[in-house]
Structure 1
């Protein structure tokens, strides 16, 4: 009987290891992240919503199509058990840096509210305002500034 119990325990652990990856996410979770274009970084799996140009200059209002994209991502996350994440808000480098920190936090909170209304628990969302400290494009061009006005979703390893 002990041998059978030991064998069942070993098989269960082996099965868990097959579905668990080295970074703590299972293959189904990684597939969802990759579906949306998340990329592995030092902080975890990151996705910048810049491609959708979420925010106009000096605004924290999210366009309706971007709200739907965020809702879809949230629903897919919940479907595969991804429930904890960090939202980093960003701005371009124009204007007062202290104001940009506040604006970037408001942007991250706006995305958080869409995720919460889509079923994500408020307690599982960490929000950070980064201001213009982490640009992904050249702030000297109109297009570059537009790309820098974004929120990055980070799913920890």
Structure 2
């Protein structure tokens, strides 16, 4: 038979362990688990060209969504690609996106931020026309930050679409 110390009472260490365990169990019951993407949704994202990134799933669109110098106009081909992308994502229940616009490094930082925002908004407008809820589409202009290649390359005049982690 095991002998109980302190007349059956828990010591300081025992009380601390019990309180900690109870607090953790209570927190686990109250904290909602983050909603992730299903394996099928991840497969669809990969098929569309998305790759896992730090802040979610990211589709860099050089070669797909490039803009002419000093322009935020989406060509018809790009509009079609964005519409098809939106429909494919919505079909899988993916309807929350962030659209990030970029520029090359010509021009002032302030001008490039405005231009990149217009580029992101042009793509976001097409996504919303295709049926994505307006409140689920975040638009960011990031100027010449995060260039794909250094300098004034056309590849930097782009938009990235991100499915954020929830």
Q: TM-score range by the shorter chain?
A: 0.7 to 0.9
CA RMSD of aligned residues (A): 1.4
Alignment check: 8 A CA contact 2:65 2:159 kept? no
Match runs of 1:1-150 below 5 Å = 24-140=36-152, 145-150=153-158
CA 1:85 to 1:49, structure 2 compared with 1: closer, same or farther past 3 Å? same
Distance in 1 (CA, whole Å) between partners of 2:85 and 2:61 is: 11
Q: Which runs of 4+ in 1 moved over 2 A?
A: none
Q: Tell me the number of residue pairs that the alignment of Structure 1 and Structure 2 aligns.
A: 132
Distance in 1 (CA, whole Å) between partners of 2:149 and 2:65 is: 13
Unpaired stretches in structure 1, ≥5 consecutive residues: 1-21
SS of equivalent residue, structure 1 residue 52: coil
Larger Rg: 2
The normalised TM-score by structure 2 is 0.76
SS of equivalent residue, structure 1 residue 102: helix
The normalised TM-score by structure 1 is 0.80
What's the CA shift for 1:46? 0.4
